[in-house]
């Protein structure tokens, strides 16, 4: 189970790598969906596509179960405040990897498409906005995602991700892992910040079509001054995060 759960980090890393590559392609005038459905579509197009999809699905399911078990059974000996925070983080991670597993399964069964995540984000936003208090809820969700992005960036700058790893003994290897983590976490933070802001703005303006998830956030970055360079830089950062996650599959302390 631990081996499969570690493989889940590697599968996530491959998908982040592909999202980063698609972002760079967009910055260079190419096409594609710079989100996880787009990344999975790229994975499915490879010669061993079906095998890669099902193997990644199994790994993400295992990691989702691992994180869910942490949320339910672990951290009970900690003070109440620390316990609640760690359990919430593990539960959120379980949901993230469960979502990745569902995306992988849909493509493996032939029902997925490259724009699924973008359309789903718009559909969910529209549905929630129609519910009582839906706009306020979406603003809170968007703000929460944006704050999570800031936390990711801070975690990168402070190198606090290192405490969750068994760092290699070689000084050069340690420096390489740290560099990948710093750049990767900052890039991931920027993407989450943009995605959260789009959700909140779409809710406040009553334009659910503007809530387009990760792909929309990166395209919004492209439309800013010097946006092509910023998008390429963030894409390179996501590639670093992807490589870091593959390294994390080997070095992660699974009980933290």
Phi then psi for 76, rounded to 5 degrees? -70, -20
CA end-to-end span of the chain, whole Å? Answer: 16
- Reading the block at residue 237, the tokens are 């950062």
State residue 115's pLDDT score.
54
Q: Is residue 154 part of a domain?
A: yes
Total domains present in the chain: 1
Domain membership flag for residue 160: yes
* Residue 150 domain boundaries: 2-251
* pLDDT tens over the chain, length 256 residues: 888 888 999 998 999 999 888 889 888 877 777 777 778 888 888 888 888 899 999 998 998 998 888 888 777 667 777 777 778 888 888 888 888 888 888 888 877 665 555 556 566 666 666 667 777 887 888 888 889 889 999 999 999 998 888 888 889 999 999 999 999 999 999 888 888 887 777 776 665 555 556 667 777 777 777 778 888 888 899 999 999 999 999 998 876 5
Q: Which residue, among 6, 21, 7, 1, has the nearest Cα to 241 in the 3D structure?
A: 21
pLDDT value of residue 112: 64
pLDDT score for 91: 87
- Determine the 3-state secondary structure of 109 from DSSP: coil
234 belongs to a structural domain: yes
Q: Is 256 exposed, middle or buried (0-12, 13-18, 19+ CB in 10 A)?
A: exposed
Residue of 248, 95, 59, 119 whose CA lies nearest to 51: 59
165 backbone dihedrals φ, ψ, rounded to 5°: -120, 150
Q: What pLDDT score does 70 carry?
A: 82
DSSP designation for 206: T
Determine, yes or no, domain membership for 118: yes
Predicted local distance difference test score (pLDDT) of residue 185: 94
Q: Is residue 161 part of a domain?
A: yes
Residue 224 zone, left/alpha/beta (φ > 0; ψ -120 to 50; rest):
beta
Residue 182 domain flag: yes
pTM score of the predicted model: 0.83
Instruction: Let me know: does 40 contact 103? Beta carbons within 8 Å.
Output: yes
| Residue 66 forms part of a structural domain | yes
Q: CA-CA distances (angstroms) from residue 34 to 22, 218, 226?
A: 5, 7, 19
Query: How far lies 186's CA from each of 36, 81, 194, 220, in Å?
Result: 19, 26, 12, 18
Tell me the three state secondary structure of residue 252: strand
Residue 256 belongs to some domain of the structure: no
Amino acid 229: pLDDT: 86
Q: Which helix (H) or strand (E) holds 162?
A: none
């Amino acid at each position: 189970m631990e081996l499969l759960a570690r493989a889940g980090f590697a599968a996530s890393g491959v998908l982040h790598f592909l999202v980063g590559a698609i972002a760079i392609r967009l910055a260079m005038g190419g096409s594609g969906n710079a989100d996880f459905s787009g990344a999975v579509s790229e994975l499915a197009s490879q010669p061993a596509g079906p095998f890669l999809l099902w193997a990644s699905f199994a790994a993400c399911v295992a990691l989702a179960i691992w994180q869910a078990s942490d949320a339910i059974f672990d951290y009970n000996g900690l003070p109440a405040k620390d316990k609640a925070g760690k359990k919430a983080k593990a539960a959120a991670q379980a949901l993230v990897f469960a979502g990745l597993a569902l995306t992988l399964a849909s493509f493996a069964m032939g029902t997925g498409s490259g724009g699924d995540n973008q359309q789903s984000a718009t559909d969910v936003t529209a549905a929630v906005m129609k519910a009582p208090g839906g706009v306020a809820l979406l603003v809170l969700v968007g703000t929460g995602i944006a704050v999570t992005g800031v936390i990711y960036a801070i975690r990168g700058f402070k190198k606090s991700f290192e405490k969750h790893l068994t760092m290699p003994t070689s000084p050069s290897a340690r420096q390489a892992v740290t560099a990948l983590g710093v750049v990767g976490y900052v890039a991931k933070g920027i993407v989450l910040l943009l995605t959260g802001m789009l959700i909140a703005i779409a809710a406040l303006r009553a334009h659910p079509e503007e809530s387009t998830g990760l792909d929309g956030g990166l395209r919004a970055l492209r439309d800013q001054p010097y946006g092509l360079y910023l998008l390429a830089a963030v894409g390179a950062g996501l590639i670093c995060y992807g490589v870091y996650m593959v390294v994390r599959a080997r070095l992660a302390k699974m009980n933290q």
